Amino acid sequence: MTHRNQALSPIDRASEIRPDPVELALLMQSAKILPVIQGHIGASGDALRYLTAEQVDALSGTFKIGERYFLGLARDSGQAYFAWHTSWVSEPADEITSFDGFKTLREIGGVLVELELALAMHAVGLSNWHTTHPICSRCGAQTVSDLGGSVRVCVADSSQHYPRTDPAVIVLVKDVEDRILLGHQPIWPEKRFSTFAGFVEPGESFEECVSREVFEEAGVYCNDINYLASQAWPFPASIMIAFEAITDHPDTAKADGVEITEIAWFSRDEIKSAIASGDLLLPPTISVARKMITGWYTAKAGYSATDLIGGEAWRP
């Protein structure tokens, strides 16, 4: 039985190929190409829907030429994958019709296999960045995609611009009794609670950001801050760095009333009961927030992840 390094993506991004347009063109001919349009990706059922190079060329009457981005090679098979970032030539008026065969990453991400989730995250993140960076930030001239979509180059001064990723911490706050503190944001559906999160500010370490964000949103200081994991989060261009932390003063917890309007401490039995009764919605299974909550919940014997099924929600 073989074991894959858990930190190794199933997709080799093969950056050494990006500067070679001849090799990229050759790979394109046998590639699986994932269409991306207005934040939606090609999908069929619970899987991604790919096109061939011939199909992409044949769709020029319905879709604009768009841009093709090299996503990498499957580590197990060497299969090449590209994203095709495009838009309709004449967009249908009916939204349902216009997105037939396409889903958002939020809609399908929770059911994709590991390889397809990695591809979808990369494709959506790249497409988001290319959409919002058509102009050089130095001189204002037009930029064009280059190096397989991994960079944009200014046509006037030849400066290179690389995709941005905004670091944000996300924190599972616990007390000495091993309860967890969850908060509700006003933009979320009613009864939706999750962990605390915020963007890292200039000159700030991850640990400093954890302390600041938890205090700002929930009114408690934390200690024993420990790194857990990280997750790409292209909504639109973030990476979530997950931590757990303990507060010695749970009774002082208080929502800030702006970003967080309600907070609550939960034991495992209280979470199980609240989900069963429909009084609590958790973040979706695709999110690292949900993975942190599930990891805490199942760390004690007798508690199963199936207890948490049925109570989850995205923001509207």
Q: At what angle do helices 268-277 and 288-298 cross, to 10 degrees?
A: 120
Residue the block writes with tokens 């309007």:
261
SS3 for 85?
A: strand
| 74: number of Cβ within 10 Å | 17
Are 41 and 35 in contact by the 8 Å Cβ rule? The answer is: yes
Are 182 and 264 in contact by the 8 Å Cβ rule? The answer is: yes
What residue ranges do the domains of the chain occupy? 11-131, 133-164, 166-308
Q: Tell me whether residue 224 is exposed, middle or buried, using C-beta atoms within 10 angstroms of its C-beta: 0 to 12, 13 to 18, 19 or more.
A: exposed
Least confident of 29-33, 90-94, 190-194: 90-94
Side chain identity at residue 253, one-letter code: A
* Whether the domain at 11-131 and the domain at 166-308 fall into the same CATH topology: yes
* Residue 124: its H or E element: helix 114-132
What CATH code is assigned to 166-308?
Answer: 3.90.79.10
Under CATH, which architecture does the 11-131 domain have? Alpha-Beta Complex (3.90)
- For residue 92, pLDDT over 60 is answered with no
- 12/74 Cα distance (integer angstroms): 6
Q: What is the pTM of this model?
A: 0.88
The band of 8, judged by pLDDT with boundaries at 50, 70 and 90, is confident
- For residue 139, pLDDT over 50 is answered with yes
